[in-house]
């Protein structure tokens, strides 16, 4: 009998324990880790970062196994993993790997288990890489938020979300727990049966939207850890979850499309996630980034002052133009600004450097920013469908800024932070280091930040992950 897809994924994880991924894959995992870690540090003073930390402490009780980012006291594996997932995702600044943000959930699992079990940095990077690759392949097999119809109009799924990450996260947890291949099979089967629901669409469509975003990050992390622990203790999983389109996982998450042909094709030899990584300069949904890049360029090139602006017409991704969460203009919390298109445009026009400062309450609730929002018109780019059909990486953007009796226009096809035909959109390691140092500022001393950077960039040579996590406790 041929192996199931779950059995093939378990073998993939087991092989990565024995033979680490290629150097270029490991190097990209380091870059993702560095960026996500900085996002966690930046969120230690945020409202929902604090909520995650407090619940992590409740969940962890008096545990002393693992570190919460930016906190002196340690807690349990589960408590630290929950808290760190909420911290890293709090500012919506973390890197993107299909199906969306994966780093905010894989780092907490590998950090907590790596620290508690005194595993090597090389093992952590291997587990991260396996998770990222599995998440990419599962995402490509199902519906996509940016699907396009034959006529070029958006074909946005009615049900969508990122629950499928639970498989990759569980595989990584199994690797960090030194579980056998057979136990990993059961863990993945359990993960499929206990997967969260795909809740992104109600989050997008209902105002005011829930502040747990498109799914509770700490929740999916806890589900993955639970699946691994239960399999280790003897529970049996459903190994047909990724082979049965009628009663298996695709039906559970209501994916109309199910193409498993790429799930395990060249798995372990053809690593596909690295070239699809996107790094975020803004604390705004990635949907806006090409438009924000375009606006900032127009503002700087023409030295346009805010008080000179009569109006801004911004064109972005057609599928999202009228989605309630993005069209919202009522900003009651800094969180709300992460998804309000008009607020992002208004902040960008003020020339505030991209990064965590966009979530500073003084910026979010600035009278000047809120006033400019009323002069912003966000529209779907009429060329979006044809552009995406030609290149799925395309995010065509256009801005028209009316000021000084003139309309200043700018256009671009790809946002900064992603690999694209335009080499300038690639985020270099040097640029990631600048972002990381800014995110760590105010949380760690410059000396501690330097030590952390050195440790992350050399993590494949670190013998004990606790060497790294100790640097996260100020």
The SS3 call for residue 372 is: helix
pLDDT digits (tens, 9 = 90+) for 23-47: 999 999 999 999 999 999 999 999 9
Grade residue 69 by pLDDT with cuts at 50, 70 and 90: very high
Cis peptide before 99 (omega within 30 of 0): yes
pLDDT digits (tens, 9 = 90+) for 73-84: 999 999 999 999
Nearest CA to 18 out of 110, 126, 113 is that of 126
Measured between alpha carbons, how far is 2 from 331 in angstroms, rounded to an integer?
54
Token look-up 């503002």 returns: 299
Nearest CA to 164 out of 226, 81, 224 is that of 224
Mean pLDDT of the chain: 97
Torsion of CA 429, 431, 433, 436, to 10 degrees: -130
Task: Give CA separation, 39 vs 88, 274, 346, 416, 436, in Å.
Answer: 5, 19, 23, 18, 8
Tokens of 96: 């993107």
pLDDT digits (tens, 9 = 90+) for 325-367: 999 999 999 999 999 999 999 999 999 999 999 999 999 999 9
Grade residue 244 by pLDDT with cuts at 50, 70 and 90: very high
Measured between alpha carbons, how far is 405 from 382 in angstroms, rounded to an integer?
26
Model confidence at 256: pLDDT above 90: yes
- pTM, to two decimals: 0.97
Tokens of 153: 């109009």
Grade residue 61 by pLDDT with cuts at 50, 70 and 90: confident
User: What was the pLDDT predicted at 159?
Assistant: 96
Number of H helices, E strands in the chain: 21, 6
Measured between alpha carbons, how far is 151 from 409 in angstroms, rounded to an integer?
28
**DSSP at 471:** G
Task: List the CATH code of the domain at 286-419.
Answer: 3.30.1330.120
- Percentage of the chain exceeding pLDDT 70: 100
Task: Give CA separation, 291 vs 31, 156, 280, 379, in Å.
Answer: 25, 20, 13, 11
Q: What value does the mean pLDDT take over residues 229-236?
A: 98
Burial of 421: CB neighbours in 10 Å, binned 0-12, 13-18, 19+? exposed
Which H or E element spans position 5? helix 5-18
User: What was the pLDDT predicted at 49?
Assistant: 97
Q: What value does the mean pLDDT take over residues 272-285?
A: 97
**DSSP at 68:** P
Measured between alpha carbons, how far is 72 from 65 in angstroms, rounded to an integer?
13
Task: List the CATH code of the domain at 5-276.
Answer: 1.10.4100.10
Tokens of 94: 């973390």
Q: Where are the domains of the chain?
A: 5-276, 286-419
Q: What value does the mean pLDDT take over residues 87-116?
A: 98
User: What was the pLDDT predicted at 1?
Assistant: 82
Grade residue 15 by pLDDT with cuts at 50, 70 and 90: very high
pLDDT digits (tens, 9 = 90+) for 131-145: 999 999 999 999 999
**Is 226:192 a contact under the CB 8 Å cutoff?**
no
> Residue 141 CB: number of other CB atoms within 10 A?
20
pLDDT digits (tens, 9 = 90+) for 143-154: 999 999 999 999
């Amino acid at each position: 009998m041929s192996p199931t897809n779950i059995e093939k994924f378990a073998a993939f994880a087991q092989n990565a324990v024995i033979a680490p991924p290629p150097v270029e894959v490991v190097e990209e995992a380091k870059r993702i880790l560095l960026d996500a870690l900085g996002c966690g540090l930046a969120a230690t003073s945020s409202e929902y970062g604090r909520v995650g930390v407090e619940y992590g402490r409740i969940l962890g009780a008096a545990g002393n196994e693992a570190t919460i980012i930016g906190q002196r006291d340690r807690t349990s594996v589960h408590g630290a993993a929950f808290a760190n997932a909420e911290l890293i995702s709090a500012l919506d600044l973390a890197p993107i790997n299909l199906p969306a943000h994966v780093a905010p959930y894989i780092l907490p699992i590998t950090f907590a288990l790596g620290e508690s079990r005194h595993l090597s940095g090389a093992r952590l990077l291997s587990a991260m890489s396996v998770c990222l690759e599995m998440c990419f392949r599962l995402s490509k097999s199902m519906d996509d938020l940016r699907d396009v119809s034959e006529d070029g109009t958006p074909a946005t799924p009615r049900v969508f979300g990122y629950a499928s990450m639970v498989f990759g996260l569980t595989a990584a947890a199994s690797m960090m727990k030194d579980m056998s291949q057979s136990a990993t099979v059961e863990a993945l089967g359990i993960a499929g049966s206990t997967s969260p629901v795909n809740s992104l669409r109600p989050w997008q469509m209902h105002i005011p939207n829930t502040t747990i975003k498109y799914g509770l990050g700490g929740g999916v992390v806890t589900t993955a850890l639970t699946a691994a622990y239960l399999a280790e203790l003897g529970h049996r999983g459903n190994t047909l979850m990724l082979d049965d389109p009628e009663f298996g996982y695709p039906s559970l998450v209501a994916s109309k499309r199910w193409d498993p042909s790429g799930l395990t094709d060249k798995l372990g030899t053809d690593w596909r996630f690295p070239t699809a990584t996107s790094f975020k300069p803004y604390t705004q949904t990635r949907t806006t980034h090409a438009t924000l890049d375009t606006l900032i360029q127009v503002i700087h090139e023409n030295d346009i002052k805010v008080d000179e602006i009569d109006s801004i017409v911004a064109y972005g991704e057609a599928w999202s133009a009228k989605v309630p969460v993005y069209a919202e203009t009522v900003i009651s919390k800094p969180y709300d600004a992460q998804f309000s298109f008009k607020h992002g445009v208004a902040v960008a026009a003020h020339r505030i450097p991209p990064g965590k400062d966009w979530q500073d309450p003084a910026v979010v609730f600035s009278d000047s920013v809120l006033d400019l929002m009323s002069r912003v018109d966000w529209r779907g780019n009429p060329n979006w469908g044809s552009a995406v059909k030609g290149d799925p990486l395309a995010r065509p953007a256009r801005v028209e800024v009316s000021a000084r009796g003139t309309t200043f226009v700018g256009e671009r096809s790809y946002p900064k932070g992603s690999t694209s035909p335009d080499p300038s959109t690639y985020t270099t390691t040097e640029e990631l280091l600048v972002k990381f140092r800014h995110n760590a500022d105010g949380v760690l001393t410059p000396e501690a930040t330097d030590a952390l950077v050195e440790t992350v960039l050399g993590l494949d040579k670190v013998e004990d992950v606790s060497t790294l996590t100790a640097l996260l406790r100020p």
